[in-house]
Amino acid sequence: MQRLTPRTLQSVSPAQSGVVRLADVIAALTYALDLTEGQRPGHTLRSTVLAMRLGEEAGLDRELLGALYYAALLKDSGCSSNAARMSALFGSPDQELKRNMRLVDWHDRWKLAMRTAASCGVGLNPIHRVRHFLMVAKTPSLTREIIQTRCERGAQIASVLGFPRATSEAILYVDEHWCGLGHPFGIAGEEIPLLSRIILLAQTVEAYWSELGTAPALEMARKRRGTWFDPRLVDIITAWRNDREWWGRLADINRLDEAVLALEPGSTPLVATDERLDRIAFAFAAVIDAKTPFTAKHSSNVARYAVGIASAMGADAAVHRDMLRAGLLHDIGKLGVSNRILDKPAKLTDEEFAEVRRHPTWTLEILQHVGAFRHFSHEAAQHHERLDGRGYPWNLPAAQLSYMARVLAVADVYEALTATRPYREGLPVPKVVAIMGNDRGTAFDPEIFDAAVALAENGTFESLSRVTEDGFEQLEQLVPMTPFGPAANRVA
C-alpha cells in the first residue's frame, strides 16, 4: 500500500491559472438544481435565456439586467428545502412530483385536484394513494408553506452570496401571480417586482416548451395572461412565436452554457475569487443538506472533519481549500435521489439502495461541469470507495484512490454514524471508533483513520461541528423572511 505523506498531498490540489468567471461556476451548478426539480437538463439555463430577452425587450437598464441574470440562475436554489415535506405528504418521488405539479394551472381547482390525485402515492397500492391524497387535502395552507420555504431559502442564498437586494427580492417573489392568487404573500399586479414577473413567465414557458413545444407553451402564456402573468410581458413573449431560429438555438443543449455566459450584462464579467468560490461551495452544501432533515449539517461537517484530518497530517493551505470544497460538494449527486428513499425509516430494498448508490456518479457529472472544481471532481465522487475494492459505484482498488478520496471516505462515515438518521439515533464516539475500526486497512486508510480517531477522541471533531461560517448561519438555521417593504421601496 502506498504511504501517503504531506508531500504527496500536493498532487491533489493543482494551482489554478487564469480568471474564473462567477457566471461560469453558477451556471454549471444549475444542472444540480435541475436534477432536484426533476426538470430536463438545462431548464435553469434556458429559463435564464428567456428571462434575459424578456428583460431587454421590457427596457431594463444594465444594473437591473445584472440583478435579473443572477436571480434567474439562482431561482431554484431553495428547491431542496421543501423536498422532504412534499415527498412525505404526497408519498411520491419528489423530482417527478415537482415536474408534474409545475405543468398545471393552480387556479383551476378541478384540474389541480385531478393532477394532485394522480401525483399521490405513485407506485403504491390504492389504499396508500387515497391516504396520501387525503393528507394533502387536509393541509389547506400546504402550497403557500411549501413555496414560502423554497422562496425564502433561495432569497437568502442569493443574499449570502453577495448579490444585490434586487436579486434576492426577485427570487423571494417569483411565485406571486399578477391576479394576487400566488404565494407566499399574495401580492398582485405592479406590487410584484418586475424581475419576479419576468422569471415566473420565463420558467413556466420553459417547462411547457421542454415538454410540449413552442406553440403549446405560448398558448399557455396567452391563457394565463392577466391571471398568472403580467399582460405586457405575455405580449412580448408571444410575439416571438415565429422566431424559429431563436427557438432552435434555445434547443441546442451543446451550446447552451456558452449562450448563457454571453448574456452576462456589463463590460467586465464578475470574477469568482477564492472567497466567492468558498461561499458558493458552502451555499450549495446548504442546498444539499436541506433536502432531508436527517442531513442538516452533513456536508459542512464532512468538509471540516476532512480539513481537520489533512491539517493534522501536515497538508498545506492549498490542499485545505480543495479538501474543504470537495467535502462540501461530495454529496451534490444526492439531489437526484428521491426523498421517499432518503427519508425512509426502514431498511432499503435492493432497488432503492441501487438508486442511492448512483449519487456519486451524479456528483462526478455535476462537478465535471464546473471548471473551478473539476480537478477534484473524481476524488469528491469517490467517497464511498474502499481500499479493498469493494466500495461503490466503481469498485476502485487502493492504488486508484487518492489521498483526498481516502480522507473523505473516513470523514463521511464518521459523520454519518455520529448523526441521527431516520432509522437510529446518532452513535457515541467510542462506538463509532469501534465500528469503523473493524474496517481499518480494508475500507479505510490506516494512517488517515488513526489521525481521525485522535481528533474524535480529543473533542476536535465536536468543536469543528459547532463552527459556522460568516453569513452561513442564515442557511443552517432558516430564519423566516418577510416582504421587503411597500411596493414603492421595491424594484418595480
Catalytic residues, by residue number, are 334
Cell of 100: 408534474
E strand or H helix at 361: helix 359-369
Q: Where are the alpha helices (DSSP H) in 173-255?
A: 194-212, 214-223, 231-238, 244-250
Helix (H, G, I), strand (E, B) or coil at 274: helix
Q: Which residues neighbour 268 within 8 Å (Cβ) at sequence distance 6 or greater?
A: none
**How far, CA to CA in Å, does 105 sit from each of 100, 138, 221?**
11, 20, 11
User: Using only C-alpha atoms, what is the Rg of the chain?
Assistant: 23
Q: How far apart are CA 287 and CA 71, in angstroms?
A: 16
The β-bridge partners of 440 are 444
Side-chain-side CA neighbours of 323 within 13 Å: the count stands at 32
User: 352 with 376: CB under 8 angstroms?
Assistant: no
199: CB partners within 8 A, 6+ apart:
47, 51, 68, 71, 72, 75, 170, 171, 174
Give CA separation, 332 vs 36, 283, 294, 417, in Å.
10, 11, 15, 19
Cβ 208 vs Cβ 217: under 8 Å? yes
Buried b (16+ CB within 10 A) or exposed e, 160-179: bbebbebbbbbbbbbbbbbe
User: Can you list the positions of beta strands (E) in 66-210?
Assistant: none
What letter does residue 225 receive in the DSSP assignment? Answer: B
Helices (H) and strands (E) in the chain — how many of each? 26, 0
Distance (Å, whole) CA 408 – CA 414: 10
DSSP character at residue 438: T
Q: Where are the alpha helices (DSSP H) in 243-336?
A: 244-250, 256-262, 274-289, 298-312, 317-329
